[in-house]
Structure formats: structure tokens, C-alpha cells
A and B are shown apart, each in its own frame.
Chain A
């Protein structure tokens, strides 16, 4: 079985704005191969199936165990992490494409800085007084911790946004990942002290009311974060906030 091969067709793009094109590659079969190990093989022998030597395919990756979120791409039409995409479970030729909702940097690499900017907009952090030693943190029931933990596993990978029909390359919709962060921090005893600021941030343009409730975000989340619950919860929180704002302001 030494000549068994794995076939790929890969959508490539040399730089932002330049036209994309497809190239086919074949790499030697190895047991338990995943997309990353195959891309590494292409680096070692950057030759297309047609025998043309080309620049190796570029892609982002780091941890290779689905905790860093880096290697997200569209594999056979489905957005997911390349490291956990085992070749044995995929139909060939395996099609690799960059995510379509973020600007392409090169080949399979995209620029997801919009997601990180959104974290700033909603102040996705706890406003601690300082990092000096001022004793223990707030106690909280383990059940609340467990709820927060699931949400805090979000690795800013962008799967939910790639799948979301509301989120496009050019609009300002924040999307499920960001709303989930608002819920995460509003649920923390100290974080809740700045709850209103976070809610105000998702009540404007691109905020929670733009969610079309397609519910695909939750289906593609690799960490099984209950994103639709988070969206519903933030919907409720913002409704109260709206009423409060009307009464006070």
C-alpha cells in the first residue's frame, strides 16, 4: 500500500485582492493523517499533481490540538479546524478553502482582527483594581463556574461567523462569538459590575438585534458552546437594559 495517496484541491491566492485559483496536490498516505500533516507534506515537496513546482501552500496553525483556534479553514465545504480534520473521515479530493467571511491574507490564511476588535468594543474583560495581592476572588457556585467555563472555551476561531448568514465580509455585525463573551463576563460577580457598558455596546449598529436567528452558529462551534442560548440571554439582558435606559435617560 506504499503508493496510496491522499488527493487535495486547494484554493490559493497570492495576496489580498489578487485573483484566487485552484491547485491539486497528492501526498503519500499515512495512518491518522490530518489536514495539517498533509499540508506539511506539501511543504516538503511543493509540487502539484500536474508535476509543477510551486510555492508551498501557506496556512495558519499553532497548537494542532484544537485549543488555539488558529487553523480554521473550509474543508470540503465545512468550516472547521484543520488539525482535527482526520483524512480518513473525508471524501477525496479534499477541498481546502480559506474562510470567506474574513479578508484573505494568502492562500488559506485570513485576517480575523475584526473578532479581536469586537472584544474591545464589548470590554470583554474583568475590571480588576490591579494585579497586586488583595486577597481571594469572589466565591461562586460551581454550577455558575461550569456555565462560564463552557463559554470561556471560545478560541476566537471564527467558525460561528463563517457559518452565519448575517455576518458578511463588509458589514459590522458582531456575531455569536462576541455576544457569548458579553454573557461570559456579565455572569461573573465582578464582571457584572460593568454589565451595562457591555450591553450598550451590543445594542447599537451590528449588535444583537441584527441576529437573524438562523441558529447555524451553534451547529459549527467546535467547542459546543451554547451560542444560541448566549444570544437569547443577551437578547433578554438588552431588552431590560432598553427599558431601563428609557426610564432613566
Chain B
């Protein structure tokens, strides 16, 4: 046992990082939060619609167990089940905690928390604060962390960038290399553990719903230092965003949760004003095709349908790649109260009031289900041991990951309003494990020779010196845009191996051109260019992980849709048939004629496909490229079965 406080460095001031900082301080630890900018401005503020917890406030019979099932099914069974189950069971306590911290959640007539619908479930399970829930949750956690800073338990290093982990001779992480974005100074922070709560990688696609800081660089650096990166190819495309030059702005799923309807004119190129088009001439394609979940099918399903309407059916609004998201049947007062934040965003960026006119939207890159491979510690019942040092640890000992930067909670497709939950859950849950981890170490960071830190610092100092010397012909920002265009054109909603091969080649070309980059600013004060060039380098490697994972995975699962490998579920198929089938198989004989025509063959295909592909993709950096292997998924609690939402 150490005679001092245990100290951790948390990289990232979003929900996961702040939740952990608060919890670790509470456990009498010493915390340094490193943030690319001022705390309070992290990407988590962009989350709009809400956070899930099966509190069953509306007496619908919702339970955490059902939340667990919806999440696993929504993720097409690719998530480790014990962890997801634990998250769903902790969710009600998390919401109550956030409420106690003063989050202005919308309330019922009696003054309790109100809940609304979201995608992939039939229950009102989503707590919300208008349509800026992420912002409100960040503020509440930020306030608690600020309180700890005020009380001397925590330090914030704002305007600092994480460059890499300090690894000792045994490969154990002993601290972080930090770059002061103002003074340009590079130094190390020794720590008992380092946590990457650095969010997602949307910038790899250039334009997405993500913020500017979401380059995925920190996670990629960990990968380049030997950490495993998992399920990289599973990128969520959100069905509803406003197209834009600099960013594709999210229009929350809560718009549909509150009654928003998606439609296009039945006749292609019907150029009438949308409000002049009568009901009978409107094609509510999600409602027609999915009578049970209607507009609230999971995101992967909705995005594919919109893509199909626009590109295969050629029915986009005015021939453009857009469909209507319509809330005009709701009252102004209702919309302002429950969706005010997004109503304002739409108005400000398009000049059109969505309370009066249907919004025009299109899918956009939104979230990475994949991320750094992380571990968890099972207890004797096969559930989660909250004290296990393995929880959220990457494959580098002492380096942890949390929030969107990890991969464990959403499988092949994330359900709406589960990301805020997984971020806060991981942050809170992992604190005890990290405490125990530091106790379990034979050598403390205090016993590590200073040369280990000197070497790490010097490595990065040299690297930045070299970047500043780059005097080629390529503008790094331009090259980034081109990388994004390659990814958007080839690694998006509908994937095929020919395009993925093409993308691989194009990324290699960009990697070659990267060597000819010009460092467009070499000054030594508040200079973002060298950092950006390093981030671009990381994004190139991350794009390789995503693309190669997608190329190798010859199947259709969740957000990863390869039509060539679609198992073609029969229209009248009932997922329960598959459970019957498995049972019959267990008892020996399967009666061919018990199932409708074609169903047995489909189920056999499904089963075979799972044997091959119901696996976590694991990428490791080898010979300058990702080496891909596969790992078993823990499906111990719910039998994987075909998904269906109609």
C-alpha cells in the first residue's frame, strides 16, 4: 500500500472523464483532467435527445432486463452481454444521481422525471432535459469536478493535448506525455493509471455530427503503441442530420420520439411545397414498412431505408439526397418545451422554422461503436465484479479507456440515448477497479527510473520538431478533407468489397502524400498546425483500421451492411422460430415441414454466419498496418437471434 493518494490522469473532459474524476476524488484519489480546451466544451454537449433508464415511470411494464434485451438486439448481438446487463441495471441509479446534481430534466405533473420514446424500444425510457440533454449532463458533472478542483482534490489541465502513454520496460503505463497547446511545451505526467476518455473519431470522415476535437487521435496513438483496437468498422450513421459545409448537424432522434414523421412525396420530383402535398401523396416509408416500430426503428435500419429511398428509389425531395422530417403537426408550445434546442439549431442554420415547415434531413456519420479494446472482470455468477482491476483496462496494463473511446457497450449498432448512459456508467463503474489496480502493482510509479519519462518526453519532442520541419507541398487541412471524402464515398452505409479495396488504395495514397505535407505554421505559441498534422497521421491509421475491418467482415450485421452478404430474411419470418429451431436441434430432430417455406434454410444460414462472424474484430498495429484477428463475444445471457422490427 502506498502512503500517498493514488493519482490518475484522465484524458478528456466529457461525460466519461468527468464521471470518473468525480468518483475517483470521492474515493480520496488525486485526479488530473487533461482537456484539449476549457472543460464544459467537450463533445458530450452535443448529445440532444436524452439518456435511457428503465424506471417505468409510465407504468408500461418496462424493466432493466428489457432495456438490456433491446440494447443487445439493437447491437445485433455483438456486445458482451454481462457488461451491457450491468449498465442497464445501474441506469436508474445514474439518472437519479444526475437529477440530484441538479440536471433540469423535464418533469411530470407530480414533479417526477418525465420520459419519452426513442429508437429501438417500445417503452418510454428516455429521460431528457429539453433537447440539450448532453449539455445539461456535462454541466452537472463539470460542476461536481469544479467543486473538487475548488476543494483541492483535482486539477484541470485545459488547453493540453495527450500525445502518448509513458511505458516502462515491462510495457506498463506509468503516465502520459502532455503537450501544452499554448506554450508548446512537451512534458510527462507520472501517474498510477492513465484513462483515455477521449471520445469518438468522426473527424476521420471529415464531415460528421462530431465536434472538431473528435479526431480519435488519442485512441489511435494507444493502438500505435500496441493497444488492441476493436470493432473499428462499426460506425453509426445517424439517420437525421442537416447537411452542411463544415459539419452535418444532428437532428435528434427525439424529434421522432416526440412524434416526428419521416416521408417523401410519393411521386419522385414532386416539386410542390411540402405543406401543399396532401396526405395521400406522401410516402411515410418507415411507417409503412415497419408497422410496429414505425419511425423509431433503430438507427442502422432507418439510415439504410433513407439511403434506399434516395439512391435506389430516386425519391429524394426535389431529386436531392434529402427526406422530410416532419413535426409541423405538433403545437409550437409542445415543440419549444420538449425540443427547443434542436428547433433553434435548425432555424439558425437553414433559415427555415421547423415548427412551420418540415425539415430536410439526410443521414450522417455519428458514433463509433468500436474503439479501444477494453477488458472486464466477471464475478462468480458471470456478471460484473465492480472491484476488478480488469474493468475498462486496455491491452496495455495501466492504460484504461472509457466512453465512446472504448468498444464494449453497443455491439454493431448503438441505440439512441444509450451513449450518455454508457459514458457515465463506465466513468463511475471503473473507479474502484483502478483503485484496486494500483494496489496490485509490484512496483509503484515512484520506483520507475526517471529515464523512462525522459525517453518518452524526448520521443515526442523529436517527433514535433520533425513535424515542424516538414516543408512539402501538401496542405494538411486539404489532405484531411480528401481523407474524409474517401471514407464518405466508400466506407459508409452500404458497403461492398470493391469500394473498400478502392478506399484502401486511396488511403495508402494519402499516406504517401502525408510525407510531403507542409507544416503551414511553425511558430511556437498557440500553434495548432503541428498538433493537427500529428492528428492527421493518426486519422490515416484509424481509417485503415475501419476500412480493413469492413473489408474483411463479409457479412451484414448492424451498421455494417454489405448487400452481397445479406442473408435475406424471409418477410414473414418470426425470430421466435429461431429459438424453436435451436431447441429442436438440441433434441435431435428438426422437422423440415414445421417451418414455413424457406425459413429453415434461412435459419441455417443465420446460424452458420454467426459461427463465423459473431466475433469481435481486433486490430493490432503490425508492419505499418492493422493486423486483424477475431475474438469470441460473451453471449451467455441472451441467445443471439435474427433481428426484426416490423
With both chains docked as a complex, state the minimum distance between the C-beta of A49 and any C-beta of chain B, in angstroms.
18
Which of A43, A67, A191 has the most C-beta atoms of chain B within 10 angstroms of its own C-beta? Answer: A67
Nearest B residue to A127, CB-CB: B147
**Cβ of B257 under 8 Å from chain A:** no
**Cβ of A3 under 8 Å from chain B:** no
Nearest A residue to B104, CB-CB: A149
Nearest A residue to B525, CB-CB: A15
Chain A residues near B182 (CB, 8 Å)? 105
Q: A46-B520, A126-B101, A137-B100 are in contact. Are A65 and B46 (CB under 8 A)?
A: yes
Stretch from A151-159, A203-211, A238-246 at the B interface: A151-159
Task: Please report which residues of chain B, range 87-112, place their CB below 8 angstroms from some CB of chain A when the two chains form the complex.
Answer: 93, 96-97, 99-102, 104-112
Chain A residues near B135 (CB, 8 Å)? 67, 153, 155
Nearest A residue to B528, CB-CB: A58
User: A126 vs B147: C-alpha distance in the bound complex, in angstroms?
Assistant: 9
Chain B residues near A62 (CB, 8 Å)? 37, 41-43, 211-213
Which of A37, A128, A133, A134 has the most C-beta atoms of chain B within 10 angstroms of its own C-beta? Answer: A128
Beta-carbon contact of A68 and B41 below 8 Å: yes
Contact with A along B523-566 (1 / 0, CB 8 A): 10111110000000000000000000000000000000000000
Beta-carbon contact of B475 and A44 below 8 Å: yes
Chain B residues near A135 (CB, 8 Å)? 96
Q: When the two chains form the complex, which single residue of B143, B244, B526 contacts A32, counting CB atoms closer than 8 Å?
A: B244
Beta-carbon contact of B106 and A112 below 8 Å: no
**Cβ of A171 under 8 Å from chain B:** no
With both chains docked as a complex, state the minimum distance between the C-beta of A198 and any C-beta of chain B, in angstroms.
13
**Cβ of A36 under 8 Å from chain B:** yes
**Cβ of A123 under 8 Å from chain B:** yes
Beta-carbon contact of B428 and A131 below 8 Å: yes
Q: A141-B111, A149-B130, A152-B136 are in contact. Are A60 and B525 (CB under 8 A)?
A: no
Beta-carbon contact of B150 and A45 below 8 Å: no
User: A128 vs B147: C-alpha distance in the bound complex, in angstroms?
Assistant: 10
Contact with B along A14-41 (1 / 0, CB 8 A): 1100000000000000111110110010
Q: When the two chains form the complex, which single residue of A58, A63, A65 contacts B526, counting CB atoms closer than 8 Å?
A: A58
Chain A residues near B129 (CB, 8 Å)? 149, 152
User: A131 vs B94: C-alpha distance in the bound complex, in angstroms?
Assistant: 9
Q: A30-B245, A124-B146, A140-B111 are in contact. Are A68 and B45 (CB under 8 A)?
A: yes
Q: A58-B526, A128-B100 are in contact. Are A139 and B212 (CB under 8 A)?
A: no
**Cβ of B343 under 8 Å from chain A:** no
Task: Please report which residues of chain A, range 143-173, place their CB below 8 angstroms from some CB of chain B when the two chains form the complex.
Answer: 145-146, 148-149, 152-153, 155-156
Chain B residues near A106 (CB, 8 Å)? 525-526
User: A15 vs B182: C-alpha distance in the bound complex, in angstroms?
Assistant: 10
Beta-carbon contact of B130 and A69 below 8 Å: no
**Cβ of B457 under 8 Å from chain A:** no
**Cβ of A86 under 8 Å from chain B:** yes
Task: Please report which residues of chain A, range 39-78, place their CB below 8 angstroms from some CB of chain B when the two chains form the complex.
Answer: 40, 43-46, 55-56, 58, 60-70
Which of B101, B136, B144 has the most C-beta atoms of chain A within 10 angstroms of its own C-beta? Answer: B101
With both chains docked as a complex, state the minimum distance between the C-beta of B137 and any C-beta of chain A, in angstroms.
11
Chain A residues near B140 (CB, 8 Å)? 126
**Cβ of B521 under 8 Å from chain A:** yes
Beta-carbon contact of B109 and A152 below 8 Å: no
User: A134 vs B101: C-alpha distance in the bound complex, in angstroms?
Assistant: 12
Q: When the two chains form the complex, which single residue of B46, B150, B529 contacts A67, counting CB atoms closer than 8 Å?
A: B46
Beta-carbon contact of B246 and A142 below 8 Å: no
Beta-carbon contact of A190 and B41 below 8 Å: no
Chain B residues near A30 (CB, 8 Å)? 245
Task: Please report which residues of chain B, range 120-137, place their CB below 8 angstroms from some CB of chain A when the two chains form the complex.
Answer: 129-130, 132, 135-136
User: A22 vs B525: C-alpha distance in the bound complex, in angstroms?
Assistant: 19
Chain A residues near B523 (CB, 8 Å)? 14, 55
Q: When the two chains form the complex, which single residue of A67, A130, A137, A153 contacts B96, counting CB atoms closer than 8 Å?
A: A137
User: A136 vs B249: C-alpha distance in the bound complex, in angstroms?
Assistant: 34
Chain A residues near B150 (CB, 8 Å)? 120, 123
Nearest A residue to B478, CB-CB: A44
Q: A63-B211, A149-B104 are in contact. Are A142 and B109 (CB under 8 A)?
A: yes
**Cβ of B444 under 8 Å from chain A:** no
Stretch from B1-9, B344-352, B362-370, B618-626 at the A interface: B344-352
**Cβ of B400 under 8 Å from chain A:** no
Nearest B residue to A61, CB-CB: B212
Beta-carbon contact of B245 and A56 below 8 Å: no
Beta-carbon contact of B144 and A128 below 8 Å: yes
Beta-carbon contact of B41 and A123 below 8 Å: no
**Cβ of B386 under 8 Å from chain A:** no
Q: A55-B521, A106-B526, A125-B146 are in contact. Are A142 and B111 (CB under 8 A)?
A: yes
Beta-carbon contact of B212 and A156 below 8 Å: no
Chain A residues near B293 (CB, 8 Å)? none
User: A149 vs B42: C-alpha distance in the bound complex, in angstroms?
Assistant: 19
Which of B101, B213, B246, B475 has the most C-beta atoms of chain A within 10 angstroms of its own C-beta? Answer: B246
**Cβ of B477 under 8 Å from chain A:** yes
Chain B residues near A8 (CB, 8 Å)? none
Chain B residues near A65 (CB, 8 Å)? 46, 247, 249-250, 345, 349
**Cβ of B117 under 8 Å from chain A:** no
User: A131 vs B100: C-alpha distance in the bound complex, in angstroms?
Assistant: 9
Task: Please report which residues of chain B, range 478-515, place their CB below 8 angstroms from some CB of chain A when the two chains form the complex.
Answer: 478, 481
With both chains docked as a complex, state the minimum distance between the C-beta of A170 and any C-beta of chain B, in angstroms.
21
**Cβ of A11 under 8 Å from chain B:** no
User: A112 vs B37: C-alpha distance in the bound complex, in angstroms?
Assistant: 11
Chain A residues near B107 (CB, 8 Å)? 139-142, 145
User: A83 vs B41: C-alpha distance in the bound complex, in angstroms?
Assistant: 14
User: A135 vs B102: C-alpha distance in the bound complex, in angstroms?
Assistant: 14
**Cβ of A119 under 8 Å from chain B:** yes
With both chains docked as a complex, state the minimum distance between the C-beta of B135 and any C-beta of chain A, in angstroms.
5
Chain B residues near A63 (CB, 8 Å)? 41, 43, 45-46, 211-212
Nearest B residue to A16, CB-CB: B525
Beta-carbon contact of B211 and A152 below 8 Å: no
Chain B residues near A138 (CB, 8 Å)? 100
**Cβ of A109 under 8 Å from chain B:** yes
User: A142 vs B128: C-alpha distance in the bound complex, in angstroms?
Assistant: 13
Beta-carbon contact of A133 and B96 below 8 Å: yes
Chain B residues near A146 (CB, 8 Å)? 104, 337
Nearest B residue to A39, CB-CB: B246
User: A33 vs B244: C-alpha distance in the bound complex, in angstroms?
Assistant: 8
Beta-carbon contact of A84 and B147 below 8 Å: no
Chain A residues near B22 (CB, 8 Å)? 131
Chain B residues near A112 (CB, 8 Å)? 38
Beta-carbon contact of B245 and A69 below 8 Å: no
**Cβ of B139 under 8 Å from chain A:** yes
Beta-carbon contact of B245 and A44 below 8 Å: no
Chain B residues near A34 (CB, 8 Å)? 245-246, 349
**Cβ of A188 under 8 Å from chain B:** yes
Q: A67-B341, A190-B100 are in contact. Are A142 and B245 (CB under 8 A)?
A: no
Chain A residues near B527 (CB, 8 Å)? 55, 58
Beta-carbon contact of A190 and B102 below 8 Å: yes
Chain B residues near A133 (CB, 8 Å)? 93, 96-97
User: A133 vs B143: C-alpha distance in the bound complex, in angstroms?
Assistant: 19
Q: A37-B246, A56-B520 are in contact. Are A126 and B102 (CB under 8 A)?
A: yes
Contact with B along A85-96 (1 / 0, CB 8 A): 010000000000
With both chains docked as a complex, state the minimum distance between the C-beta of B433 and any C-beta of chain A, in angstroms.
16
Please list 7 pairs of residues, one from A and one from B, whose beta carbons are closer than 8 Å in the complex, sorted by A's number. A14-B523, A45-B475, A55-B523, A65-B349, A69-B40, A124-B146, A145-B107
What are the nearest 9 A-B pairs in CB distance? A139-B111, A137-B99, A125-B143, A37-B246, A149-B104, A106-B526, A133-B93, A37-B245, A137-B100
Known: A43-B475, A84-B349. 12 other contacts (CB 8 A): A37-B244, A63-B211, A68-B45, A86-B349, A116-B38, A125-B144, A131-B144, A133-B93, A135-B96, A136-B112, A137-B99, A139-B112
